[in-house]
Chain A
Amino acid sequence: MNRSIIISSVLHLVLIMITAMSLPFLSKKPIDLPPIVSVELIQITDKTNIPFAPKAKKTIEKIKEKEKKLVSEQAPPKKVKKVKPDSVPMPEDKVKKVEKIKEDKQNPEKIDNEVKQVSEFEKKELFDPNNIAALIDKSKIENAETINKTDKVTQDQQKNLENTGLSLSEEDALKAQIFGCWSIPLGLPYNENLLVRIKLQLKPDGSVIKSEILDHARMNKPGQGFYKVLAESALRAVKLCQPLRVPSTGYDRWKELQLNFDAREMLEG
């Protein structure tokens, strides 16, 4: 009697356990998706966009030194520079310094067209890019002089051109060059007035001394994110393209240029 009760209860227990383990509702799992956990966003630009920490500076300097050593092994010896001081370009540092001076002189707050229409003579007194170019590299003196000379020769003939701007072929050449450099941000709306005007000051070789966005205040206005993106892309295009494909003569005509970037036509498709 007892034996059969024990056997019965054991079998019942086994049955209950098997049922419990295989019941579908127990094994059913909720959808196993990665949880959507909030991600904390912190603006670190303000905190971090400063000269880097002294520790980091040390490590960078160490690595730079190492790299310098490596580079110096491969680089031509200094003697070469001494042998051909005129033909070899000057070290970059000096060039940068000269450029900085230029910018400072060229940048006395605002030189808008409307402010002062300084005569060409006075302008040359203030700043002559040819002279600076000559300071950088003697070989450029010759070029600069020839440019001045040719200017003098053709000045009378080109009076009309000076007032009318670039010829069609000159303009087309410049446009074609910038078209290739300008990566249009494709996310911009095509039905908004997004015209970016950039004023450039150019060297005789077409490289950019200074680029200035004429509606700069719009860049940082709230709700003008699209304008900022477009303006930055235009500035990138100018930097990527330089030296610009400018005419070989008539520097006075195009030493200041305004580029109007308008992507609507492209965005509209």
Chain B
Amino acid sequence: MMKKFLFINILLLFIPFKSFALIEVDITRGNLNPLPIAVSPLSIDENSRKNFEKILQKDNLGSEISIIVENNLKTSGLFNPLDKNAFLQAPDIANLKPRFEDWNLIKAQALITGKVTFKDEKLRVEFRLWDILAGKEMMALAFTTVPNNWRRVGHIITDKVYERLTGEKGYFDTRIIYVAEEGPKTKRIKKLAIMDQDGANNKFLTLGNELVLTPRFNPTSQMVTYLSYFRNLPRVYLLDIETGTQEVVGDFPGMTFAPRFSPDGKKIIMSFAKDGNSEIYTMDLENRIVEKITNHPSIDTSPSYSPDGKFISFNSDRSGYQQIYIMNSDGSNVKRISFGKGIYGTPNWSPRGDLIAFTKLHKGKFYIGVMRTDGSGERLLTENFYQEAPSWSPNGRVLIFYRETKTDANGDGFSAKLWSIDLTGYNERLVKTPTDGSDPSWSSLLSN
């Protein structure tokens, strides 16, 4: 019996079984083309349209909001909003149930629809995001707010769509503070100015009597710190954007540079020269205690915290010429991280924590670039005659900086403009401002 069993087993070993292993194909590359998206005008009923026309002087608020969404998506460089003239379905019907075949026909991969209503003196906007290829709704949200907030609603919709389709938070419902400049190069009038990230709602915050420099947003609130010269002495100010109140943090001796907030917003970090030596200091905003962080005979400037607050990046010429260094937040364990050719400056730690943006001067040209926090993977994103001061969008994907043009032999032709570029280095854009601008700083998201 046992022998029979063994024999069958051995026989089974020799019978050829046909095996079909599942074929696996690794897809490790894709395209970086902007995603084709259709932004259908938000539908609006006649009664609401009339009410909004009376309050906001906008003929069709639904269309206006959709234009904001469309412009935001376009400037991000990640989306390609399709031409509205090609849309086959009316906005009100599309919002209820899109005919996916129609949207597929114009090569849309995603669709935004929505509805605007006037209800209890308030603006109610609902919107839906559809996956055209899968034929399903991906997201649906409704917002209620005062009618004057309509632009922000457009920005918030973009943030939600951006997050759903890219996986990271958006940066559209944000503001940018910068130094507005006017007049000839030798007699520049500099004012503090603020605007929405798309350039709308530009407002001047100071009159231009005093020189203002390096405004920086608090990462946790709508508070700004900046430097102003009062009777030729540098003075650090705190300005609450929401209330308009302003206070002096302190007068500091010698050259003071670029005050910046800590990630929790409780401290200011800056550099100033005491006894002829520039060091990095922090100031606790509650008790105003100043603490010295670096202690080296070289010039240490431009400090910037990592988002977890554990490290600080800064400039130093301790190796002979200006390079980027990082250290622990208490000043210990100083390490040089930039080793490329040229001079490095204005390091700025990304809110994502993975990269440090910088300005580099090499062979008479200025570059804006990024490197990993250990100094590896240096990438130069843009090159120009003069440009500096990169500031991160709150999601760590886009940088805003300023660029100056040469003056001609007569001293004319000088200008300073704000520019933005994303991490791919391809999507470079001029940020339109009513006057010249420099030293931009991006706020955190207004709605979280």
Contact = CB atoms under 8 A, between A and B. Distances in A.
A, B in one complex: yes
Interface of A: 30-45, 48-49, 52, 56, 59-60, 63, 113, 117, 119-120, 162-163, 165-166, 171, 174-175, 178-189, 191, 199, 225-226, 229-230, 232-237, 239-240, 252-254, 256-266, 269
B199 to A, nearest CB: 14
Nearest to A55: B96
3 residue pairs, one from A and one from B, having the closest CB atoms: A187-B168, A182-B30, A187-B166
A175 B27 CA distance: 6
Interface in B187-226: 194, 201, 203, 205, 222
A240 B133 contact: yes
A41 B379 contact: no
A156 B250 CA distance: 87
B255 interface: no
Contact of B140 (A40, A44, A257): A44
A232 B110 CA distance: 12
Given A60-B96, A174-B25, A252 B31 contact: no
A237 B25 CA distance: 14
A156 to B, nearest CB: 12
B93 A186 contact: no
A256 B24 CA distance: 9
A165 B97 CA distance: 42
Contacts of B32: 183-184, 186, 266
Tell me which of B25, B144, B447 has the highest count of chain A C-beta atoms within 10 A of its own C-beta: B25
Contacts of A188: 166-168
A31 B145 contact: no
Contact of B141 (A43, A165, A178): A43
Interface string B159-180: 0001011111000000000000
Contacts of B167: 185, 187-188, 225-226, 229-230
Nearest to A164: B21
A185 B162 CA distance: 10
Given A37-B146, A44-B142, A183-B109, A259 B133 contact: no
A34 B395 CA distance: 23
B258 interface: no
Nearest to B78: A186
Interface of B: 18-35, 78, 90, 93, 96-97, 109, 126, 128, 131, 133-134, 137-146, 148-149, 151-153, 156, 162, 164-168, 194, 201, 203, 205, 222, 241-244, 352, 354, 377, 379, 395, 397, 423-424, 446-447
Tell me which of B27, B96, B379 has the highest count of chain A C-beta atoms within 10 A of its own C-beta: B27
B27 A258 contact: no
A265 B30 CA distance: 10
Contacts of B354: 189, 191
A49 B258 CA distance: 51
Contacts of A180: 31
Contacts of A119: 18
A257 to B, nearest CB: 5
B25 A33 contact: no
B145 A39 contact: yes
A69 to B, nearest CB: 16
A32 B204 CA distance: 9
Nearest to B168: A187
